[in-house]
Chain A
């Protein structure tokens, strides 16, 4: 049976007007939507304040969830640990033996490294992190790849700062609210990171593909020297990311580079580290490309590359 409908106004003048007003209001809302969409596509930073306020307000929900995510994972891991405990024990003892040898080697290397650095009179490259925080959520329904971080301006987080996990680079801060900030993940299509192969100086750009993998585009075209399994680290070009942070591993070779899998999968990281911009002064003198555009990161480097296309 058809339900009684408010759409049938009949000859009732008031109902007719009400129906008309409804369409008018919805149409106005739509027009306003088009206007706002045009503004936010043209100037993506226009509504940043509004958005950070909103995510600040919802942050407590996210924090509880993030703690739960870590907790539940530990819970299942604890259960899984009871299975194959014996074989695991033997495996671990073997591993410890190897690790002791490796440790000794590493100590020797560290000593040598120190000596060589002293010779070159280089200062230690360690950077003190701005803060550590949790990823409390991500835009899991949108084709854009943003994550929400549980630290904001109060902890000293500023837009542009790289976000890393112990496994590698996660992304960079796009906007900072009071208690939360929005992070542009490496897999967003607007994210471009200058990288180099860890073993030599094959330089490339790692661009997001929105599906958890990165497209690695070589700068010097020619014979593709990449092999499956190559590791890429940040090169430090552009002055934003500290050089030597792990980014991706090559999983598939393409014509102009490769497809890489992200090394530091944000889904598996609970605590991330916010680091200061590597060469902040340098970027400031280049006219603050960050403030203008959401895809600002390695702008000066990215442009000649895009011109090649």
Chain B
């Protein structure tokens, strides 16, 4: 008797027999993790200066770069609104910057449809400083040009943190596509 290839029954996402992906997980995980990232200010760190990477934005970038199409283009509005509620920025600043990011990434993908780790990191390293400087500009705080070095540690930390976040997202992506639903 012929034997089926082992990969026909199982793959990285679990058994293929009698199991299917859960739509709640498959569509919900990107939204929920990005929103959890936006809750960074509730971490027990009372920072005297802006220092922590904007985890919500990093997660949005990482999800969008790893899985184009999982977050719709309009996701910048609801996720940005949620981010603004906690980040201390005036409401609207992240909505604008998140939406712009989604549109810009769509256009970049149109031009460069290939994917690689270095390309993703390069894009992130381009977008993160723009986002942080945009946030500082829209924050309503009186930050003059000579105070801009204030942002440098945060920008560097965020750029360095991106690969870690991207790795976390790829692990979460495995969770997202795990076959948990039982088919009867």
Contact = CB atoms under 8 A, between A and B. Distances in A.
B90 A32 contact: no
Given A22-B72, A144-B139, A30 B100 contact: yes
In this complex, the interface size class of chain B, counting residues with CB under 8 Å from chain A, is 35 or more
B46 interface: yes
Interface string A28-66: 111011111111110010110011001100110110011
Interface in B24-55: 39-55
In this complex, the interface size class of chain A, counting residues with CB under 8 Å from chain B, is 35 or more
A109 to B, nearest CB: 34
B140 A262 contact: no
A5 B113 contact: yes
8 contacts: A23-B73, A26-B99, A30-B103, A62-B42, A135-B46, A142-B87, A143-B143, A143-B151
Interface of A: 1-3, 5-7, 22-23, 25-30, 32-41, 44, 46-47, 50-51, 54-55, 58-59, 61-62, 65-66, 68-69, 135-148, 187-190, 209-212, 262, 265-267, 269, 294
Contacts, number: 206
A39 B92 contact: yes
A262 B48 CA distance: 9
B147 interface: yes
Interface stretch (B74-82, B163-171, B173-181): B74-82
Q: By CB atoms of chain B within 10 A, which of A7, A143, A262 has the most?
A: A143
B43 A140 contact: yes
B68 interface: yes
B28 to A, nearest CB: 19
A138 B87 CA distance: 9
B90 A65 contact: no
Contacts of B48: 145, 187, 211-212, 262, 265-267
B15 interface: no
A22 B110 CA distance: 14
B145 to A, nearest CB: 13
